[in-house]
Amino acid sequence: MTHQQTAQAKRQLARPVLSLLAGVGLLGASMLLMLVHIHAIREVKDISLPLATQLPILERRLSLLSEQIEASELHAALRQGSQEERLHVYVLPAEVDMDRLLATFEVARIALEQRGLLSSMSAIVVGEQHTVSVEDATLSALPLSFQMTVTAEGLSQFLTLMESAGLLTVGDTLTDAEIAQLFERTEAESPAGIVALEQFLTSDLLDYALEPQPFEDRLLRTFSSDAFSASFRSITQSSLLRSARELLGSGIGAELTAQKLWPLPFLTMMQTAIAERDGEWYDVTFTLETYARATGDEDPS
């Protein structure tokens, strides 16, 4: 075989070898691209599928929260109108209703006397009316003074009644810090429970005191864990709400309801003088002020 024939035979043999090598290279590149593609698909699957499963849950939660916000706004609007009306009719009227005020003191006197916590109560002396400024409002103040002979328990209960005077709702008996704590616990446990908490806080104080169980059960059913319940009990047992519930839940509350004396007019204890007598009795002199909207103030439209 000549040298030329040998070279030609080598070239013919090299072509299929090069084609084979090129095919193997392309196959390897294709497999690499396929592996990259599979890896990308897996990443998309790992990310998108969990999100896809969460979307219905997130959509339901968003819908629920939207409904809760709407219900809360409607409840607040209805509550504000009702409470504002009661405030201007009973708590801060245009003029002091002395008949209603004296009837309230008479209910307290009889209830304490029947329980052996009060032995006597003097006539109420009415002072001169004057105006006072409270924040941005000008009020007409009427001083009242009287004397009681009571036991320590009787004094405590009468002071609780005076602290409850002018309060309309359960929330009025709690401090800002206590209310904030309840809302923080609600948001941590179940954001959807905010409306139930607002409804509890805006419940009529006397209605709650006369029968607290339904109000508390309605709120606590919203939460599945015991954490909120424990926090709720701690706050309500250490606040004015507990004392008001115990006092108004007794015969005093029932009599106030029967005589339509609730809510009580707003009263401020200005001065208390206590003199100890023999035994368990104390002579206590009270000076209070009750209020009305000053002349010229307009009712809310």
Cβ atoms of residues 119 and 268 within 8 Å: no
Residues in Cβ contact with 68 at an 8 Å cutoff, skipping those fewer than 6 apart: 191, 192, 194, 195
Cβ atoms of residues 171 and 197 within 8 Å: no
Residues for the chain: how many in total?
301
Distances (CA, A) of 123 to 73, 129, 209, 299: 47, 18, 29, 33
Mean pLDDT, the chain, integer: 80
Comparing CA positions, the residue from 285, 206, 215, 284 lying closest to residue 252 is 206
Q: Is the peptide bond before 300 cis (omega within 30 degrees of 0)?
A: no
Kindly give the parts of the chain with pLDDT less than 70.
1-81, 295-301
Residues in Cβ contact with 270 at an 8 Å cutoff, skipping those fewer than 6 apart: 143, 287, 288, 289
pTM of the predicted protein model: 0.71
Distances (CA, A) of 76 to 65, 69, 172, 207, 223: 16, 10, 15, 19, 22
Cβ atoms of residues 165 and 230 within 8 Å: no
Residues in Cβ contact with 252 at an 8 Å cutoff, skipping those fewer than 6 apart: 107, 108, 111, 161
> At 225, is the secondary structure helix, strand, or coil?
coil
Residues 146, 151, 154, 155: what is their CA dihedral angle, to the nearest 10 degrees? 50
Residues in Cβ contact with 251 at an 8 Å cutoff, skipping those fewer than 6 apart: 111, 114
Residues in Cβ contact with 143 at an 8 Å cutoff, skipping those fewer than 6 apart: 126, 127, 128, 270, 287, 288, 289
Read off φ and ψ for residue 5, nearest 5 degrees: -65, -40
